Amino acid sequence: MSRIAGRIVHGLHARDTRISPEGRGTDLQLMRESNWLLVLNYVRTHGGLPRAEVARQTGLSRTTVGNIIDDLLTEGLVRESGSERAIPSGGRRVIPVHFNADVAHIVGIALGRHRLIMVVTDLGANIIGRVEVPFPAYEGPDVCLPLLAAAVRDFISSQGLPWNKVIGVGVGMPGIVKDGICLSPTIPGWVGTNVYERLCDLVGLPIYLDNNAKLGALGESRFGNARDVESMLYVRVGTGIGGGLVLDGQVYRGGAGSAGEIGHMVVDPHGPVCACGNNGCLETFAGKQAIVDLVRERKPEVADIVTVLQLAQAGDPICIAALQRAGASIGAIVSGLVNFISPVLIVVDGSTMRAGELVLAPIRAA
C-alpha cells in the first residue's frame, strides 16, 4: 500500500491526471504511471462502470485498462461488485468496478501560525476525525516539525486507526511554497527550510505540501462548492489573507509559486506597514490582528478575533464596523481580480468568515 501511495503522491506533484487528448508521454514508465493514475481517478470519480466503459472513456485499450484494474484490485484500491449486470445491447454480462475508499486513510494538516488542525479521511475524502491544537510556529522548524510529526502519530492513535493504513499526509502552510521549500517570511525563521524533505524523514510517509490557500482552492474544486467549475477564485481570510486560483480546472501557481498572494496586494499605499515591508497591504486591513487592533482603539478590553465576532453578532457597532471595513478592503482587491480573470465562482473561506454577511455583504457590494 505504501508503494501505491508513493505513486499517487508522485503523480500529484508531477502532472495533471485528467483525460487530455493532447497529452502523450514519451517515456514508457512515465506513460504507465500516467495511465495508472488516469484509470484510478476515473473509477474514483465515476465508479460503478465495467472495464470496457472505463477503456472507452479514457481512450486506453481494453488490455491496458484490464491490467491496471487487476493491479488496483490486488492493492485493494478498487473492488468489483458481486452482482453482474447485463449491458443494454445484450450479450455478455459485465461486472462494475468501484473505488474502495475504505482501504486506507489520509491525514490532512493545516499548519497555521498559532494553531494546528488535523483531519483524517478515507480515500473518498470523507472525514473520520478532526483535532485542533496550539502550535508554536514562531519557535521555528527545528522545534515545530518534530512536534508536528509526533502530533500526527498521537492523532492517528487517538482515532483507533492502524498506522500502516495511513498512506500519506497533505500539509497546507501559509506563505509561498515551491518545490517543498518555504520561500516567504510569513512565519519568521522558516524561510529556506525544505519542509517537504524534513517531514518525509520525520513522518515516514509520502507528503504532499503546498500553500494553504492553494490547497483550499484545490479542495473546493474537487470536493466543495466549486466542484466541476472550470475557473474560480478562492480567498482565505484568517490570521493572514491568502488566495488560490483554479483555471481550466487546475490550480494555478505561477512561475515563482506565488500566484494568489492577494494578502500583499496594496489597498492603500499610505496605509500601515505590513510584515512584508510594504505599506497598506490587504492583510493590514483585513487580517485578524488588523481587525482586533481597529476595535481596540475604542474598546481596549477586546483581546482577540473570537471576542470581536461574538460582540459583532450581539450587535456591537464598533465590532461590526471593523468587520465591514475588512470586507470592503477584501472586496476592493477581489473586484479587480474579477475584472482580470473573470472567474465563474468566488469562494471566501477562513475563520473570520464566521462573521457571515458582516464581511460578505461589503465584498459583494464592491
Q: What phi-psi label fits residue 277: left (phi over 0), alpha (psi between -120 and 50 degrees) or beta?
A: left
Helix axes 317-341, 288-296, angle to 10 degrees: 150
Q: At residue 300, what is the residue type? A: P
| pTM for this entry | 0.82
Do 59 and 94 share a domain, yes or no?
Answer: yes
Q: Which residue range is the domain that position 348 belongs to?
A: 230-365
Q: Among residues 39, 73, 99, which one ends one of the domains? A: 99
Confidence class of residue 254 from pLDDT cuts 50, 70 and 90? Answer: confident
Assess if residue 215 is contained within a domain. Answer: no
Q: What is the pLDDT of residues 51-74, one digit of tens each?
A: 999 999 999 999 999 999 999 999
pLDDT bin (cut points 50, 70, 90) of residue 228 is confident
- My answer on whether 108 and 126 are in the same domain is yes
Query: Both 242 and 359 in a single domain?
Result: yes
Q: Does pLDDT of 174 surpass 80?
A: yes
Q: Kindly report the CATH number assigned to the domain that includes residue 80.
A: 1.10.10.10
Determine the pLDDT at residue 83: 53
For residue 186, pLDDT beyond 90: no
253 with 341, same domain? yes
Instruction: Using the structure block, give the residue that is written with the C-alpha cell 481512450.
Output: 59
Average pLDDT over every residue of 351-366: 94
Same domain flag for 196 and 262 = no
- How confident is the prediction for the chain on average, in pLDDT? 88
Q: Domain check: are 93 and 109 in the same one?
A: no
315 & 358 share domain = yes
Name the pLDDT band for 82 (thresholds 50, 70, 90).
low
Report how many domains make up the chain: 3
**Residue 356 is part of a domain; what is its CATH number?**
3.30.420.40
Q: Are residues 319 and 274 in the same domain?
A: yes
- 263 and 192 within one domain: no
Are residues 109 and 87 part of one domain?
Answer: no
The answer to the question of residue 158 being in a domain is yes
Phi, psi for 108 (deg, rounded to 5): -115, 135
| One-character DSSP codes across 101-167 | GGG-EEEEEEE-SSEEEEEEEETT--EEEEEEEE--GGG-HHHHHHHHHHHHHHHHHHTT--GGGEE
In this prediction, residue 4 has a pLDDT band, given cuts at 50, 70 and 90, of low
Q: Are both 57 and 152 inside the same structural domain?
A: no
